Amino acid sequence: MRFYRLHLFVFILTLMISGSAAWAHKVNIFAYVDADTVYTESYFPDGRPVIHGTIEVKTEKGTIVLKGQTDDQGLFSFPAIKKQFLTITIKASMGHTSSFILEQSDIQQSR
């Protein structure tokens, strides 16, 4: 019985450590369109904004059409581009990366 408890403890401890490490490397990006402007918000799971993170906007074919940087609140905006499918990627510190896909219909509906 003692052996079983030790293994259970080690198993639970391993799950806790591996889960928190994965959580620590997560970053979020959200984008929406209002009129002719695309707005992005980038933040870490604890709510802290991604300050001075690099934003890349790519077309469906993977062509980078715009690069920029988030402000002190993790915000970035740009003019909507030609009513097309866009992938918006945030690159934060220590390799944290996430993407948001903005569908062509999202841009068309907002106009």
Task: Supply the CATH number for residue 37's domain.
Answer: 2.60.40.1930
* pTM attached to this predicted model: 0.73
Domain residues for the domain of 46 are 26-109
Number of structural domains (the chain) is 1
3-state helix, strand, coil in the chain (%, to 5): 30, 40, 30
Share of the chain above pLDDT 70, in %: 71
pLDDT for the residue numbered 83: 67
Among 111, 65, 109, 110, smallest CA distance to 86 is for 65
Is 93 inside any structural domain? yes
Is 53 inside any structural domain? yes
Q: Residues in the chain, how many? A: 111
- Does residue 25 have a pLDDT over 60? yes
Give me the mean pLDDT over the 72-81 stretch. 93
Instruction: Read off the pLDDT of residues 48-67 as tens digits, 9 standing for 90 and up.
Output: 999 999 999 999 899 999 99
User: Distance (Å, rounded) from C-alpha 31 to C-alpha 43?
Assistant: 12
Residue 26 CA to its chain's centroid (Å): 8
